[in-house]
């Protein structure tokens, strides 16, 4: 039968008396163990995380809107009438005829009087990119 030790003695079968090795106090004269107040940390961390996630969401939403705009522009250009093979890096202009059909031209909007929609450039990926100084008018 095992010898029973009093409750106030810290005894381990493998290490013997090991109170000095424990990370917490083992006697009534040891300092009181208090739970830290982490509410401020949790509140601040939660606010920071929410702010970060809102920013990332807005960035992703903006990227998605840009992607949709790029898709719509390319769809509009590729569905328009084209009577020449465009060269990458050159600027072309999209116009609208009286019957509503659209066509791509090398002629600048200042050189004639046609209903102008926008100016685009063909990049190396085969994507039509809207020129910054171009304003879309339908």
pLDDT single digits (tens) 69-89 = 999 999 999 999 999 999 999
User: How confident is the model at residue 137, as a pLDDT?
Assistant: 46
Query: Which pLDDT score, from 0 to 100, does residue 85 have?
Result: 92
Torsion of CA 49, 56, 54, 52, to 10 degrees: 20
**What average pLDDT does range 49-57 have in this prediction?**
93
Residue 134 clears pLDDT 50, i.e. is over it: yes
For position 106, what pLDDT does the model report?
A: 94
pLDDT in the model for residue 88:
92
Q: Beta partners for 32?
A: none
Given a contact cutoff of 8 angstroms between Cβ atoms, the answer to whether 123 and 129 are in contact is yes
Distance, in Å, from the CA atom of 7 to the CA atom of 19, rounded to the nearest integer, reads 13
Instruction: Write down the pLDDT at residue 29.
Output: 74
Distances from the Cα of 132 to the Cα of 9, 36, 37, 112, 120, angstroms: 80, 56, 54, 21, 9
Is pLDDT larger for residue 33 or for residue 85?
85
Mean confidence (pLDDT) of the chain: 84
Confidence of residue 36 (pLDDT cuts 50, 70, 90): confident
Rounded distance, CA 82 to CA 100, Å? 15
pLDDT at 138 over 50: no
Q: Give the Cα separation of 116 and 94 in Å (integer).
A: 6
């Amino acid at each position: 039968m095992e010898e029973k030790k009093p409750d106030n003695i810290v005894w381990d079968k493998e290490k013997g008396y090991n109170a000095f090795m424990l990370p917490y106090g083992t006697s009534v004269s040891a300092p009181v163990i208090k739970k830290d107040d982490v509410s401020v940390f949790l509140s601040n961390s939660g606010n920071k995380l929410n702010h970060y996630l809102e920013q990332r969401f807005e960035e992703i939403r903006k990227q998605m809107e840009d992607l949709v705009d790029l898709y719509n522009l390319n769809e509009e250009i590729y569905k328009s009438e084209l009577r020449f093979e465009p060269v990458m890096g050159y600027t072309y202009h999209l116009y609208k005829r009286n019957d509503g059909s659209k066509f791509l031209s090398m002629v600048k909007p200042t050189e004639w009087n046609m209903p102008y929609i926008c100016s685009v450039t063909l990049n190396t990926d085969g994507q039509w990119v809207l020129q910054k100084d171009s304003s879309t008018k339908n």
